[in-house]
Amino acid sequence: MTDLQPHDLLNRATELAPVPDGDNTSSVPWIRHYAAVALAAFGAFRLAEHTDPGPNLGYLALLGTAATAAMTALSVIDEAAPRALWELNAEGGEMNGESVEHLADVLERHGINPADLYPWFEAEDFTATARYPRLALARTVIREHNHA
């Protein structure tokens, strides 16, 4: 187990799902990239919220929301996009972490284990292979948060 800083999750996202090159005409690599960035941003927000709260929380929330919107817009039928964006937005219809669950499903379909980017998931719950060790910092934060 290794300790982890919130920004490390964003670095992992770009390692696991880098920005596609300009010659790529498929939306799939972009969907994968934005889903990874969004889930990493939400994970980084949750870590920072308990370990290093401050102005970066707003940036992480905005990054997660914007990346979720980009991924959603690329992956749904045009007519369904407004409703999907509403359902996955905290200012809209999302109430219980639906966007995090949706991002996890998208990433698993694209071969990325969501536990690599969101420490509150268990790697064994997904079929995609985990590429990083279990996160000690996340476990500490989870324990402290659950006992607070």
18 in a domain, yes or no?
Answer: yes
Give the pTM: 0.84
Measure the CA–CA gap between 140 and 148, rounded to whole angstroms: 12
Q: Which pLDDT does position 60 carry in this prediction?
A: 93
The one-character DSSP state at 134 is -
The CA angle 27-60-97, to the nearest 5 degrees, is 75
Structural domains in the chain (count):
1
Contacts of 133 (CB under 8 A, 6+ apart): 1, 2
Judge whether 120 and 138 are in contact, CB under 8 Å: yes
Give domain status of residue 1, yes or no: no
Q: According to the model, what pLDDT value does residue 1 have? A: 41
End-to-end CA, the chain: 24
Give 51: exposed, middle or buried? Use CB within 10 Å, 0-12, 13-18, 19+.
Answer: middle
Domain that holds residue 138: 6-147
Q: How far is CA 100 from the centre of its chain?
A: 6
Which pLDDT score, from 0 to 100, does residue 89 have? 74
56 is a domain residue = yes
Q: What is the mean pLDDT of each run of 10 residues along the chain (148 residues)?
A: 77 94 85 97 90 84 91 83 77 75 93 93 91 63 50
